[in-house]
Chain A
Amino acid sequence: MKKVNNRIIIPVSLFLIAAMIGIVVMDLLYKFGNYDTPFMLEFVLYLLYTFLRRSTSKLTFIVVILFIVSMGISYITAGSTRLTERFGEWFYLYFIFGLIQYGREFWLTKNI
C-alpha cells in the first residue's frame, strides 16, 4: 500500500515542485502582470504539497531564506527594482505561511 502511495505521491510531488517553481519564475519574468493570481496558485499548490509530503515549517523557512538571498542579491546588484520588490513579496508570503505552520506545530504538540 505504501509502495502504491509512493508511486503516486512522488510524481505528484515532483509535478507540484515543478509547477511551483514555474509559477514563481513566470511571475518574476512578469508573465502574469501585476496581479495576485500567481500567489494564490502557488499557495494552493504548496498547501497540497505540505499535505502530501507532511512537510514541516522547516522547509518553508528554507524557501524563505532562498527568497531573502535572491532578494538581497537583486537589491545589491540593481537596487529596489520591480524584481527585488517582487522577490520581497514572495519572501513575505512564504514567511507568513511558515509562521502559520510553525504555530500549528506548537499547537499539535500541545505546547501552546
Chain B
Amino acid sequence: MKPENKCLVVILLIGLLLFFIPFFWLKLGFVDLGGDAGRLYFIDPYAMMKYIYSQQNVFGSTIYAMLPYLLYLSIIHIVILSPTYMIAFDHGLQLSLAFISMYFVIRELMPQIKHDASVFSVALTCGIVYVGFITKTGWVTSLETQYQIFLNPLTFYFLLRYLKTSRFIYATLLFILSIVYSFNFGFSSTPQLMAFYPSIFLFLYIYFRVILRQSIPWKSFLLLCVSFLLLHAFHLLPALATVFSKDSQVHMNIFSRTSIENNGVTYFDANRQTLGKLSEELFGSPSSGGRTILTLIIPLITFSGFIKKKSKLLWLTGLFFAVTFFLVSANITNVGVRLYRKLFYIPGFTMFRSFNDKWYYTFIFFYALLFGLSFYALLNKKKHLVTAVASILVIISVIYRIAPFIQGKFYQTTLYQSRSVPVIFNIDPNLISALSYVKKLPDDGKALTLPLTLPYEQVIYGKSGGAYVGLSMVRFIGNKNDYPGFWMFGPHRDTLVGVLKDVNVHELVQLLSILNIRYIFRDTDPRIMNDFPHYPYLNYPFDSTVDLPVLKNQDGYDQLMKSLPLTTQYKKGFFEIMKLSDSVVRPQIYIPDIIYASQSDLLSGTSFRSAYVDDGMCGGTALCNVVDTSIPTLRFKKVSPQNYSFQLSVGTRHDPFVVVLSDDYQSSWTMAIDGTHDLQGVRHLEANGYANAWVIDPTQLNRSVTISGEIFLRFQKYFTFGWILSIGAVVVFVSTAIILVAKKYEKSK
C-alpha cells in the first residue's frame, strides 16, 4: 500500500471512531430535543418539513432554508427509525467530518511534499486539536448553527481545491454540501456566515497572491458565487425581501437606530465583561476538561512556532488569528472596546452582539490552523520518532481533557430553573398518538396549547423522567398554528393576563375566538408544573409579580376548562384535545355583524361575529358601533395558507362592509376582485389587533348581487421566483455535469 493510502486509512478509521462515539451517549429511546431552536425534526422530519413549506410568508422566510436538510433527514429517517440514533448519527457526522476536514485543510495548505510523515502527524494532531475546540460548543440542545463546526473547514477545503484546480467536482461537492445544510447558509446563520466567509475569502486571496504567488482564478470564482446564489435563491430571495420589507421586524432590527442602540450597544455593554474572556478562548472553558497544566500545551505550541521558523503562511494565519481573537473576546483594551462599540452602528452588525458565540467558529478555525502550522514549524526536519512522540503527547493531552465529552457527560445536565429535571427524556408514546390526532384535525382554526408558558415554549415530561422544554410540538409536528405561551399572543398579551387574572370566562372566549382558536391541546401531567417552579412559567411579565392563580397548577386549569364551552375530542394518557363550540369560534374569514372602535367593547359584547378596528379607522365612517342586520353571505375556500378564493352575495346592498381574515396582518395580503387588485372601493386595514380586514364599498366597486375574488399574500411571489431560480440552476448544473462526464468518457475511449 502506498504511504499516502496508509495515511488515508488511518484518518478514515479515526473518523469512523469519532462517528460512532455519539452512539454511546444516549440510551435507546432517550432524546435531547429542546432549546431555543428546537430539534423536533429528529422525531418527525417530514411533518416539520410540511409545516415549514406552508409558511411562505414574512415570518416563515427566516426558517425556510431548513427544507433541504429536513428532506435529507426524512430520507435518513426511512432507514434510522429511532430518534436516539438519528441524533447520534447527526452528532457523529459532525465530529467525524470536523476532524477529517481539518486534517485535509492542513495538508492542502502545507507547501511540502504530501507523503512527508511529519505533515501527516501534524495534520492528524491538528484535526484532533480542532475536535478538542469544538467540544466547547453547546452539544446539548444544540442549535443548527452548530453544523458550522464541520461546514467551515470542509467548505474551506473544497473552495481551496476548486481555486487551485478549477475542477468541477469540487464545485459540485460544495453545492451539494451547501444545499443539504442550506440552513447554515441562510438567514438564521448570517452572523456565522458573515464571520467566516469574508475572512476566508480574504485569507485565500492573500494566500494565493503572497504565498503561492499566483492570481486567483476570478472567472471560476465568480461563476461559483453566482451559481451558489442561484441555487440558494429559494430561501435567499424571501429572506432578502423580508430584510427590505419595511413592516418586518427584521428590517427594524437592522436599520432602526433605536433598535441598534437597544439590541446592539446596550446588550454588548451589559454582557461584554461576562461573555468576553480572553483566557477561556485561549485555554478552553473550565467545563471543557477543567483547569490543569495540560491546558497550557496547545497555546504554548501555537505561539512557539514564531520563534522557531520564518514562514509567511504562519504570519498570515497569525494575523487572522489576531483579528478573530479580538472579535471573539471583545475585551482587549479600552480603545479596542470603544472601537467594537462603534462597529454596532454599521447596519447589521447587531447580529454579532453575542460575539463570543458568533465569532467562535471562525476563531477556532484559525486557532487550529495556527496550531498546525506552528507545530509543523517546531517539528520540521526532526526525526520521525520525535514527531510521532510529540504528536501522541499532544493527542493524549487533548483526549484527557475532552474525556468527559467523549463519555457524553455533558448530557448529565438539568433543565434551566427546574427541580433537577434531566434534559434528556424518553418520548411518551401517548404524545406521539396525540400529535398524530392533531395532524388529522381539519384546517379550520388554531390551537391553544396548555399549560401556557411565559415565552413560546411547550413543556412535556418524558415517560420515565426527563422533560422537553422547547418549541411547540403542536405547531411543528402537529402542523397546527398554536399559542403555547404569552409571547405568542403579541398585542393581546396584556389583555389575556387581565382576563385570566379576573377569570372572566366570557372575555376569554371572545379573545380566543378573535384569534381563531378552535382547539385546545392540553397536557394534564402535574409534573410539568410542579417540577418547574420558575421558568418557563414565571409570573407575567418577567419583571412583574402579576399573580395568575388560575394558571398556578393543573387544578386551576381543570376549573378553567370546566367553565369553557368545550367538547373533548381525544384523550389518552396525559394528553387531551378539546374543541370550542362552533357557536363561539369566528371563522377564518368572516363578515362582522358589528364593528367596535375598541377591544374592550368587543370583549364585553355578546356577538361572536364582531370585530374591532383602531379608533382612527372608525372616524368619519358609519362603519362602527352599528349592528349590521343585512350582512352579505360569504363563501370561501382555502386554496393554500396564502390563498383563499371567496364569493360574496351582496344582493342590492350599497353600504360598505368589512371582510376579516384571521391571519397575522401583513401589508402584502391583497384582495383581488375578478382578478384585479388595488381597486377603488377596497381598503386594507388591520382588525382585531392583529388580523387583516378589507372595507368593501359595493357602490365604488360598481358591483352588485355577487362579488367573487381571492385574497392572497403578494409576498409569496418571492418564494415562487426563488424556487424557479433554484430549480433552473439545478437543471443547468446537472446538465453541465452530464456533459462533462460524457466528454470525459469519450476521451477515455
Q: Which A residues form the contact surface with B (CB < 8 A)? A: 34-36, 39, 57-58, 61-62, 64-65, 68-69, 71-76, 79-80, 84-85, 88-89, 91-93, 95-96, 98-99, 102-103, 105-106, 111-112
Residue pair B291, A76 in contact (C-beta under 8 Å) = yes
Supply 14 A–B pairs (Cβ within 8 Å), ascending by A: A39-B333, A61-B303, A61-B304, A65-B307, A68-B303, A72-B296, A74-B279, A84-B279, A85-B279, A89-B278, A98-B306, A99-B322, A102-B310, A103-B315
Contact of B333 among A61, A74, A89, A105 (CB under 8 A): A89
Residue pair A106, B315 in contact (C-beta under 8 Å) = yes
B284-324 Cβ-contact flags toward A at 8 Å (1 or 0):
00100001110110011001101100101001001100100
A26 to chain B, nearest CB (A): 17
A-B pairs with lowest CB-CB distance, top 4 = A88-B278, A61-B306, A72-B296, A75-B279
Give bound CA distance, A73 to B292, whole Å: 9
B322-334 Cβ-contact flags toward A at 8 Å (1 or 0):
1001100101111
Interface of A is mostly: helix
Give bound CA distance, A72 to B301, whole Å: 13
Task: Knowing A65-B300, A99-B315, A106-B310 are in contact, say whether A72-B277 is a contact too (CB < 8 A).
Answer: no
Residue pair B277, A80 in contact (C-beta under 8 Å) = yes
B79 beta carbon closer than 8 Å to chain A: no
Residue pair A68, B322 in contact (C-beta under 8 Å) = no
A100 to chain B, nearest CB (A): 10
Q: Name which residue of chain B comes closest to A59, CB basis.
A: B307
B485 to chain A, nearest CB (A): 35
Task: Knowing A58-B307, A61-B303, A75-B279 are in contact, say whether A96-B334 is a contact too (CB < 8 A).
Answer: no
- Interface size class on chain B is 20 to 34
Give bound CA distance, A112 to B211, whole Å: 8
Give bound CA distance, A58 to B306, whole Å: 7
B210 beta carbon closer than 8 Å to chain A: yes
B432 to chain A, nearest CB (A): 45
Contacts of A35 in B (CB 8 A): 334
Contacts of A112 in B (CB 8 A): 210, 312
Contacts of B277 in A (CB 8 A): 80, 85
Interface of B is mostly: helix
B283 beta carbon closer than 8 Å to chain A: yes
B1 beta carbon closer than 8 Å to chain A: no
Task: Knowing A36-B335, A76-B291, A76-B292 are in contact, say whether A85-B319 is a contact too (CB < 8 A).
Answer: no
B282 beta carbon closer than 8 Å to chain A: yes
Residue pair A36, B333 in contact (C-beta under 8 Å) = yes
Give bound CA distance, A99 to B315, whole Å: 7
A64 to chain B, nearest CB (A): 5
Give bound CA distance, A35 to B286, whole Å: 28
Residue pair A71, B282 in contact (C-beta under 8 Å) = yes
Task: Knowing A80-B277, A85-B278 are in contact, say whether A95-B300 is a contact too (CB < 8 A).
Answer: no
B280 beta carbon closer than 8 Å to chain A: yes
Give bound CA distance, A68 to B335, whole Å: 22
Task: Knowing A34-B334, A62-B307, A92-B325 are in contact, say whether A76-B295 is a contact too (CB < 8 A).
Answer: yes
B313 to chain A, nearest CB (A): 11
Task: Knowing A88-B279, A112-B312 are in contact, say whether A72-B306 is a contact too (CB < 8 A).
Answer: no
Give bound CA distance, A112 to B278, whole Å: 31
Q: Which B residues form the contact surface with A (CB < 8 A)? A: 210, 277-280, 282-283, 286, 291-293, 295-296, 299-300, 303-304, 306-307, 310, 312, 315, 318-319, 322, 325-326, 329, 331-335
Residue pair B322, A96 in contact (C-beta under 8 Å) = yes
Contacts of A76 in B (CB 8 A): 291-293, 295-296
Task: Knowing A84-B279, A112-B210 are in contact, say whether A72-B334 is a contact too (CB < 8 A).
Answer: no
Contact of A69 among B296, B325, B326, B334 (CB under 8 A): B296
A44 to chain B, nearest CB (A): 15
Task: Knowing A69-B300, A84-B279 are in contact, say whether A79-B325 is a contact too (CB < 8 A).
Answer: no
Contacts of B307 in A (CB 8 A): 58, 61-62, 65
Give bound CA distance, A99 to B319, whole Å: 7
Contacts of B293 in A (CB 8 A): 76
User: Among B283, B295, B322, which residue has the most Cβ atoms of chain A within 10 A?
Assistant: B283
Residue pair B282, A102 in contact (C-beta under 8 Å) = no
B348 to chain A, nearest CB (A): 26
Task: Knowing A36-B334, A85-B278, A85-B331 are in contact, say whether A72-B283 is a contact too (CB < 8 A).
Answer: yes
Contacts of A103 in B (CB 8 A): 315, 319
16 other A-B residue contacts (CB within 8 Å) besides A72-B295, A89-B332, A93-B332: A64-B303, A64-B306, A65-B303, A72-B300, A73-B296, A74-B279, A75-B291, A76-B292, A76-B293, A76-B296, A79-B291, A84-B279, A99-B318, A102-B318, A106-B310, A112-B210
Residue pair B282, A68 in contact (C-beta under 8 Å) = yes
Task: Knowing A64-B303, A72-B299 are in contact, say whether A106-B312 is a contact too (CB < 8 A).
Answer: yes
Task: Knowing A88-B278, A95-B322, A99-B318 are in contact, say whether A65-B304 is a contact too (CB < 8 A).
Answer: yes
Give bound CA distance, A64 to B283, whole Å: 15
Contacts of A95 in B (CB 8 A): 303, 318, 322
Task: Knowing A58-B307, A72-B296 are in contact, say whether A79-B286 is a contact too (CB < 8 A).
Answer: yes
Give bound CA distance, A95 to B370, whole Å: 13
Give bound CA distance, A96 to B325, whole Å: 11
Contacts of A79 in B (CB 8 A): 279, 286, 291
Contacts of B283 in A (CB 8 A): 72, 75
A70 to chain B, nearest CB (A): 11
Give bound CA distance, A95 to B291, whole Å: 24
Residue pair A68, B326 in contact (C-beta under 8 Å) = no
Q: Name which residue of chain B comes closest to A86, CB basis.
A: B278
Give bound CA distance, A72 to B295, whole Å: 7
Q: Name which residue of chain B comes closest to A58, CB basis.
A: B307
Contacts of B304 in A (CB 8 A): 61, 65
Contacts of B332 in A (CB 8 A): 88-89, 92-93
Give bound CA distance, A36 to B334, whole Å: 6
Residue pair B279, A71 in contact (C-beta under 8 Å) = yes
B341 to chain A, nearest CB (A): 15
A92 to chain B, nearest CB (A): 5
Give bound CA distance, A111 to B292, whole Å: 41
A37 to chain B, nearest CB (A): 10
Give bound CA distance, A37 to B16, whole Å: 53
Give bound CA distance, A79 to B283, whole Å: 10
Give bound CA distance, A45 to B331, whole Å: 24
Give bound CA distance, A89 to B276, whole Å: 12
A108 to chain B, nearest CB (A): 12
User: Among A61, A62, A112, which residue has the most Cβ atoms of chain B within 10 A?
Assistant: A61
Contacts of A72 in B (CB 8 A): 283, 295-296, 299-300
Give bound CA distance, A80 to B296, whole Å: 14
Give bound CA distance, A80 to B319, whole Å: 25
Give bound CA distance, A72 to B299, whole Å: 9
